Amino acid sequence: MKTTTVSVYAAFFFILVLSVSCHRDSEVPDAAFQRIEMCMESLPDTALYLLKSIPHTEKLRGKLQADYALLLTQAMDQNYVKFTSDSLIALALNYYTVERGDSVMRAKAQYYYGRVLRELDKDEEALTFLSSAKEMFGKIQCCKMFAMATDEIGMIDRKKKLYQESLENFRESYAIYKELKDSLGLVRAGQNIGRAYLFQNKWDSCYFYYTYALELAREKQYPSEVSILHELGILYRSMGELQKSERYFLAAYEKETDEERKYVECMSLGYLYMQMGDVENARKYFKMSINSSKEYTRIDAYNNLYFLEKDIDNFEEAIIYHEKADSIVNVLDEVDSQELITELQKQYENEKLRNDNLQLKVDRTVFIFCGTVIFLIVAFYMCYYYYKSKNHRKKIAEIESQIRDNEEEIKRYQQEMEEIQELKDQVLEENRILEENRMKVGELNGKIVLLSMQNKTLSGLLKELGGELTVGPSSEQYISAFRLLLAIKEGTLRGKLSNGERYKLFSLFDLLYSNYVTRLLDKTPLLTKHDLEICCFLKFGLTNEELARIFQTSSDSVTKAKGRLKGRLGISPQEDLNVFLRDF
């Protein structure tokens, strides 16, 4: 049994050490995540570098894995990294469910999941998650994220050519950024409103918001200044004011620091000069675009040079540019096909490897789980049998002790019962004697009344014969009271009792029942004359109906009066008032 106890303690100690070790290991990435989140807004490139520098991220589980996935997605979005899959942010979305209770993290996971879906051209699904995130941000009053979600919804509406709806969303986010004094958000919202007006050909409103965003971007030295200059060039090109468009395109070209984006500006300038009829400058900027590392930019450049040379009847050069564009297209088609095959093969291998690893993990988990369950069951049963046998011995000793105690109690109770029986016999004998005395008193009282009545009759007879002997006043009073009582019993009494009649009645009951009224008043001095009347009539054996006739009321009123009388006499509601007064 001692070996079993030691084994159980050892198992619990092992689990405790394991949990503490895991907790200490989890503190390191958790603290790193907090520092990374603090520098996400101001230094997004540093945040991305730090996240990618965390070792063994594949071993993260639960909340740490979800937080890492959310932060990495946020850092990639801040650094304009193109998303190719939603598998990363899905880890955070699946972890932060309603049951987790963290509304902020759940809303962020839904927002960035919508961002990724929008990048993957899944606009309808993205709209669902972005709308849900916007609603949650509104409930928890996270204004900045609410405005960002509103911006994303506006972009989806603009892509669906719902320009008025997109404009309303952009204006809503613009008002929030203005209230928060968020200059970067104001630049982004102002630029989005300008684009919405550009698609609706509302040039004045478009120009107003673009220039506002441009001034603020220049003041704060935001990199978005280049894209605003580029879009102002598109605005004036759409308005037909090509000279002003040229000025803005050239300004965007000069300020652009990214080499690949410079080639995009070259394409815009080349196309503008084609419209202006400036062949030399158009050719110059198209040829500069040919140096781009992006195949589609080179294809557009060659195609534009083809049309440019063709328009001036330089067919030999036009054919050369056309062939170069076609050759790049063919190479891209082959590369795309090969990449597609490679990607499918890679996906298949990754899926196969993931399934194999998952199966191994499941097998190992099942083995560990079954071993743990078997160990716990064996330990439980060993402990159970040990404690059961120990409890049995203890219960046997307790039962034996209880039996001995019960036998002693039985002897004591038997002795007490004998004593009680003796006392009972004594009480019964005393009650019998008391009852005999009461009967004698009642008999004597009756004889007194009869003799008094006889004396009265004889006194009247004596008076007729000329004698002078008269009945005493007390006998006259008792005779009158007795006649009154008989009249009440027979129902011949009309009207309520007078004070004098009450006095006679109370005196009669004192005489007949050993100072009955006096004893009642001694017991309860607060009894009223009405209460004493009820006590006397009940003692005399009158029913509720007879009392109701005497007091000229209903039986229910008599019952309620008897209930109140019980309270005054200190009798419990369960006790019978008639029995109490009869034995009183």
The sign of the dihedral angle between the CA atoms of 90, 95, 99, 100 is negative
> Domain check: are 319 and 285 in the same one?
no
User: In 39-122, which ranges are continuous DSSP H helix?
Assistant: 44-53, 62-78, 87-95, 103-119
Torsional class of 232: left (φ above 0), alpha (ψ -120 to 50), beta (otherwise): alpha
Residue type, 488: I
pLDDT digit string, tens, across residues 539-561: 878 888 888 888 888 888 888 88
> Domain check: are 299 and 373 in the same one?
no
**Distance of alpha carbon 231 from alpha carbon 246, whole angstroms:** 12
Assigned domain for 187 exists: no
CA atoms within 13 A on the CB side of 5: 5
Final residue before a domain boundary, out of 403, 438, 458: 403
> Domain check: are 579 and 526 in the same one?
yes
Assigned domain for 194 exists: no
What's the domain range around 336?
A: 315-403
| Predicted pLDDT at 130 | 93
- Model confidence at 176, pLDDT cuts 50, 70, 90, reads very high
- Model confidence at 454, pLDDT cuts 50, 70, 90, reads low
**Distance of alpha carbon 252 from alpha carbon 271, whole angstroms:** 15
> Domain check: are 557 and 527 in the same one?
yes
The three-state secondary structure class of 493 is: coil
> Domain check: are 291 and 329 in the same one?
no
Q: Fill in the DSSP letter of residue 82.
A: P
Assigned domain for 485 exists: no
**Could you tell me the CATH number of the domain that includes residue 251?**
1.25.40.10
- Model confidence at 40, pLDDT cuts 50, 70, 90, reads confident
What's the total number of domains in the chain? 3
> Domain check: are 232 and 266 in the same one?
yes
Assigned domain for 320 exists: yes
pLDDT digit string, tens, across residues 319-375: 888 888 888 888 888 776 776 777 777 777 767 777 777 787 788 888 898 989 999
Final residue before a domain boundary, out of 403, 423, 446: 403
Average predicted confidence (pLDDT) for the chain: 81
441, pLDDT greater than 80: no
> Domain check: are 308 and 324 in the same one?
no
The three-state secondary structure class of 226 is: helix
> Domain check: are 275 and 305 in the same one?
yes
74, pLDDT greater than 80: yes
- Model confidence at 474, pLDDT cuts 50, 70, 90, reads low
Assigned domain for 331 exists: yes
> Domain check: are 575 and 520 in the same one?
yes
| Predicted pLDDT at 443 | 61
| Predicted pLDDT at 61 | 84
DSSP string, 139-163: HTT-HHHHHHHHHHHHHHHHHTT-H
> Domain check: are 309 and 324 in the same one?
no
> Domain check: are 249 and 274 in the same one?
yes
17, pLDDT greater than 90: no
Assigned domain for 408 exists: no
Assigned domain for 127 exists: no
Q: Which residue has the higher pLDDT, 459 or 157?
A: 157
**Could you tell me the CATH number of the domain that includes residue 577?**
1.10.10.10
Assigned domain for 577 exists: yes
> Domain check: are 231 and 274 in the same one?
yes
Final residue before a domain boundary, out of 403, 422, 455: 403
